[in-house]
Amino acid sequence: MPVKNIVTGQRVTEYKLERSRELRRDMTPAEKILWEELRRNKLGVHFRRQQVIEGFIVDFYCHSASLVIEVDGGIHNEPDQKEYDIERENVLKEMGLKIIHFWNEEVFKNLPAVLHRIQELLNT
């Protein structure tokens, strides 16, 4: 029986599986704050954290809404990281996923606005 609330039919390497576990154990402070608001269906839908999708690990994923949420830090301004992020985003969008990015500072300083924007996307 397939597991609910995940992208099915994909191969996940042992490395990616272990890496996603590590990222769940070592979430950034901003990810921890947002996770407290997303977990236990607080927004009316189920989210998973550090979900592997097509070989990429996304911060948060809601299967029923086809929504990926990314919480980005300064590394995402680096040229190499920007290229990787563009490739990654293209693959995820080709799958029909909606992707929203928030900077760490947004989560720290304006969590209600972040949650409002997420709720808007869940309602579309």
For residue 71, the tally of other CB atoms under 10 A from its CB is: 24
Q: Which residues contact 15 (CB under 8 A, 6 or more apart)?
A: none
**Residue 40, domain extent:** 34-122
Establish if 100 belongs to a structural domain. yes
Q: What is the pLDDT of residue 103?
A: 94
Q: Which residues contact 19 (CB under 8 A, 6 or more apart)?
A: 57
Q: What is the pLDDT of residue 13?
A: 87
Confidence band, pLDDT 50/70/90 cuts, at residue 74: low
Q: What is the pLDDT of residue 7?
A: 67
Instruction: State the CATH number of the domain containing residue 48.
Output: 3.40.960.10
Q: What is the pLDDT of residue 1?
A: 32
Residues 15-69 have pLDDT tens digits of 988 999 999 999 999 999 999 999 999 999 999 999 999 999 999 999 999 999 9
- Domain total for the chain? 1
